[in-house]
Amino acid sequence: MKNLVLGALVSMFACTQVAAQSNREKLFDFRTETRNKPLSVTAAANKKILSAVFPKYLSDARYCKEDVDTSGADDYLAAMRKAGQIVPAIIDLATGTFTAAGEEQIAYIISVGECNASHADNFGSKRLAIFAGNKLVLNADLDFKSGILKKTDLDSNGIDELLLLGGDMNQGILIEIAALVTVRNRRVVVVQDFKKVLEDSCASLMRGSGIEASVIFLGPARSGQMPDFQVENYRAGCGRTKRWRFMSRGVMEF
How far apart (Å, rounded) are the C-alpha atoms in residues 82 and 252?
37
Going from N- to C-terminal start, the domains of the chain cover: 24-249
How many Å is the Cα radius of gyration of the chain?
Answer: 22
Residue 122's CB is within 10 A of a number of other CB atoms, namely 17
Please give the chain's pLDDT, 254 residues, in tens: 555 544 444 444 444 444 445 578 999 999 999 987 878 889 999 999 999 999 999 999 999 998 888 777 788 899 999 999 999 999 999 999 999 999 999 999 999 999 999 888 889 999 999 999 999 999 999 999 999 999 999 999 999 999 999 999 999 999 999 999 999 999 999 999 999 999 999 999 999 899 999 999 999 877 778 999 999 999 999 999 999 999 999 999 88
Amino acid at 51: S
Q: Kindly give the residue spans of alpha helices, DSSP state H, lying in the chain.
A: 2-23, 43-53, 76-82
Q: Whole-angstrom Cα distance, residue 175 to residue 209?
A: 13
Q: Is 168 helix (H, G, I), strand (E, B) or coil?
A: strand
Residues found in the chain: 254
Q: How many CA atoms lie within 13 A of 121 on its CB side?
A: 17
* Nearest of 187, 149, 184 to residue 166 by alpha carbon: 149
- List the Cα angle 97/101/106 in 5-degree steps: 20
**Could you give the CA distance from residue 239 to residue 254 in angstroms, rounded to a whole number?**
24
CB 232 within 8 A of CB 219: no
Task: Judge whether 142 and 130 are in contact, CB under 8 Å.
Answer: no
| CA–CA separation, 129 and 158 (whole Å) | 19
CA 191-197-201 angle, 5° bins = 160
Give the pTM: 0.88
